[in-house]
Amino acid sequence: MSTSLVSLASLVQAFNPVTPQLRVAAIVVRQTQILLVEHRKRGQRYWVLPGGRLEGHETLEAALRRELKEELCLDARVGPLVIVCESLAPDRHVVNLIFQAEIGEGAAPVLDPRDPVLAGWQWVSADQLPRLDFRPPIAQAVQAAIAENFGGPVRVLGDTWKPESR
């Protein structure tokens, strides 16, 4: 390869790096339903487990508690790590660390009105997950973790990215 092509490739990489991001999320179960948050992003609406990105000098547990507080005004007790998966999209690399979490029996989520990505929240039966636009697409792993009452091994799923349907 010529020196100019190698230099050009290095220059492009320097200005367009895909740095892996850590995202923490919670599986919150109430009776037979789990808490989902609806996101509105890039002209699409889809469902995710509540959570968000880790910030510097923050433990995973602290990040998840902060995200649940900011996003839904919920105080949570963070339980065990149950699922690890990645989304290796062309423009981003997200490592998802998914924990079991508990909120108080009478706690009611309240969306942060300042966050334009948040479109809603809902308690959903776990058997409905495969029928939703649920991202990342890990419905079976979530259902299995719930069925085991979060007592099984951590599920490491690898890359779960799929092109977005338009």
Domains, the chain, in order of start with CATH, read: 18-159 (3.90.79.10)
8 Å CB contact between 112 and 127: no
Asked if residue 5 has pLDDT above 70, the reply is: no
Asked if residue 29 has pLDDT above 90, the reply is: yes
DSSP state of 50: S
Based on its alpha-carbon atoms, the radius of gyration of the chain, rounded to whole angstroms, reads 18
pLDDT for res 13: 54
Q: How high is the mean pLDDT of the chain? A: 89
The encoded tokens of residue 43 equal: 């002209």
Between these two residues, 14 and 58, which has the higher pLDDT value?
Answer: 58
* Lowest-confidence region among 15-24, 90-99, 130-139, 154-163: 15-24
Asked if residue 166 has pLDDT above 90, the reply is: no
pLDDT for res 15: 61
pLDDT for res 4: 53
pLDDT for res 105: 84
pTM comes to: 0.86
Tokens 């339903």 identify what position? 33
Q: Which residues pair with 89 in a beta bridge?
A: 92
8 Å CB contact between 32 and 125: yes
Query: What average pLDDT score do residues 2-17 get?
Result: 56
pLDDT for res 9: 54
